[in-house]
Amino acid sequence: MNWDILKGNWKQFKGKVKENWGDLTDDELDMIAGQRDQLTGKIQERYGIAKDEAERQVRDWEARNQDWVPDRDSPSRH
């Protein structure tokens, strides 16, 4: 997964994050802003899990979403 592309299209992509980690708030998702380390840290904090488990969850999620491409017609595209 290309996190640089994801960062530039975060508004489109954060719905996919919310589908997987629904306890993350919109404010937290805005703070994460497409930064992988921030996502992992928030998952660890919000769900009370170990860093290794948060990393595993993010890796699994990346694998499921590796083919995602931004909607070229979206106004959030930079």
Read off the pLDDT of residues 1-58 as tens digits, 9 standing for 90 and up.
Answer: 777 777 877 888 888 899 999 999 999 999 999 899 999 999 999 999 999 999 999 9
Domain boundaries, the chain: 3-64
Residue 6, pLDDT score: 77
What helix, strand, coil percent values describe the chain, rounded to 5? Answer: 65, 0, 35
Which CATH fold would you assign to the domain 3-64? Protein Yjbj; Chain: A; (1.10.1470)
Q: Is the pLDDT of residue 77 over 50?
A: no
What is the predicted pLDDT for the residue at 18?
94
Count of beta carbons in the 10 Å neighbourhood of residue 29 = 21
Instruction: Evaluate if pTM is beyond 0.95.
Output: no
